[in-house]
Amino acid sequence: MIAQANGTISITGIGAYAPERVVTNDDLSELMDTSDEWIVERTGIRERRVAADDQALSDLALPAARAALEQAGTPGADVDLIIVATVTADMAFPSAAAILADELGADEAGAYDLSAGCTGFMYAVAQGYGMLAAGLARHALVVGGDVLSRILDWSDRRTAVLFGDGAGAVVLDRVSEGGFLGFELGADGSGGPQLYLPAGGSRAPASAETVAERKHFVQMNGREVFKFATRVLVSSAEKVLAECGKTVDDVDVYIPHQANIRIIDHAADKLGIPKEKIVVNVERYGNTSSGSIPLALADAQAEGRLQDGALVLMTGMGAGLTWGSGLIEWTANGRTP
């Protein structure tokens, strides 16, 4: 799906939260046969955050959501739509979004979770945009976050070193000018087996066997996912830019999914985006799945990179296999009441 946006809707608040516990590559090398050198060279990751035992996804989402709402100047009670993009909700149901709505006092909000792997945040932002553009909501809260540490096989060095926990949130509002220019979303289900969680769903419900066979942990074909990621980061960005009548040279800030520095560098080279325009924090957080792009957005804002009028390109990709881009003309203070 590719579409040019036709309503002035923008991000008016950003919040992020990462758990306090830092796990370095050296910490991991005590658990498995790996090294700081290997991880840094192949991925650019130096450390990641891991949730405390009593923290579930909604506990990470709540501080991020509160910070985003505060920045937007939107009381929780005014939020009428909450979408949480995650593959590690507190439980299969109720949704993390419904839990969050209750905690925020968003009594009038429709609230649901969305599953699109690491692309979830981009899908959720596009969907929040659509609901506002159609007049079905006025103040949307979109959260991306995951607690992947709970579904990683900590004895599998091929996956465990890549991921971390974290969440970010944005508020979407109507604005007087600028805002989203377009989105491009896609899915190729034939690539599903390249990155999946085999058991715990209706195909292979939890049983003593699924647990013994370690089927409740992430399975990934790293090389195939690498090829897919480098391809779609480029194609999705090119499509959304073309649809919106923009070129790579128009982009001021590029926020790719933070999976691996080699994937980011490869895509940026192919696109022709200079390094100084790219937001990178993978070295501190690893791949936080749906939390990745909003955590990077929060960093970009803290560094003063989200200036009024800046053209910001965001692209995610992940399980599904899925991908999604959004192009936004940043509006620092453009909210219409």
Report the interface residues with ligand COA, using CB under 6 A.
Answer: 34, 38-39, 42-43, 118, 157-158, 161-162, 220, 222-223, 225-226, 229, 259-260, 287, 317-318
Distance of CA 282 to the CA centre of its chain: 12
Residue 319 near residue 218 (C-beta atoms within 8 A): no
Nearest-Å Rg of the Cα atoms of the chain is 19
Instruction: Tell me whether residue 8 or residue 34 sits nearer to ligand COA (CB atom).
Output: 34
Instruction: Tell me whether residue 130 or residue 222 sits nearer to ligand COA (CB atom).
Output: 222
Decide if 257 is catalytic.
Answer: yes
What are the strands, taking DSSP E only, across the chain?
A: 2-4, 9-17, 22-24, 47-49, 81-85, 110-114, 140-147, 165-174, 179-187, 195-196, 219-220, 253-256, 311-318, 322-329
Question: Out of 118, 139, 244, 260, which one is annotated catalytic?
Answer: 118
Please list, in sequence order, all residues whose beta carbon lies within 8 angstroms of the beta carbon of residue 321, skipping any fewer than 6 positions away. Answer: 117, 187, 188, 189, 191, 192, 194, 195, 225, 228, 232
Torsion of CA 239, 243, 249, 252, to 10 degrees: -90
Decide if 118 is catalytic.
Answer: yes
Decide if 216 is catalytic.
Answer: no
Question: Out of 25, 244, 257, 260, which one is annotated catalytic?
Answer: 257
Question: Out of 25, 260, 281, 287, which one is annotated catalytic?
Answer: 287
Report how far residue 281's alpha carbon sits from residue 260's, in angstroms, rounded to the nearest whole number: 10
Instruction: Tell me whether residue 63 or residue 222 sits nearer to ligand COA (CB atom).
Output: 222
Residue 45 near residue 25 (C-beta atoms within 8 A): yes
Instruction: Tell me whether residue 26 or residue 177 sits nearer to ligand COA (CB atom).
Output: 26
Which residues are designated catalytic?
118, 257, 287
